[in-house]
Amino acid sequence: MPVRKAVVQSPIGLHARPAAIFVRAVTDSGLPVRIGKAGIVPVDARSLLEVMTADFHSGCEVELSVDPEALPARYSVESAEAALEGLTLLLEAGAAA
């Protein structure tokens, strides 16, 4: 399963605008990405409501994952890994701020 860890750098975490930017990037990837952190069940990263209510605060470590069995036919595991790397960079650069 493609997995990446990232630390949320947005000063307000994944709430409101930063969450919307992140969710849009996930949706644009076309992949069924899940996001989680210690102590919570991973949520669908394509859902703004789920991401915002999961309380991914600034500085928390999150795990992004894609189940290979849920990959759309046009994607390989390698392309999913590349997409997760891009999403990781987005979170860690604070670009979703």
Instruction: Show which residues are catalytic.
Output: 15
Neighbouring C-alpha atoms within 13 Å toward the C-beta of 17 = 7
Q: At what angle do helices 17-29 and 77-92 cross, to 10 degrees?
A: 160
What separation in angstroms does the CA of 83 have from each of 2, 52, 59, 88?
10, 21, 22, 9
Which of 29, 38, 36 minimizes the C-alpha distance to 81?
29
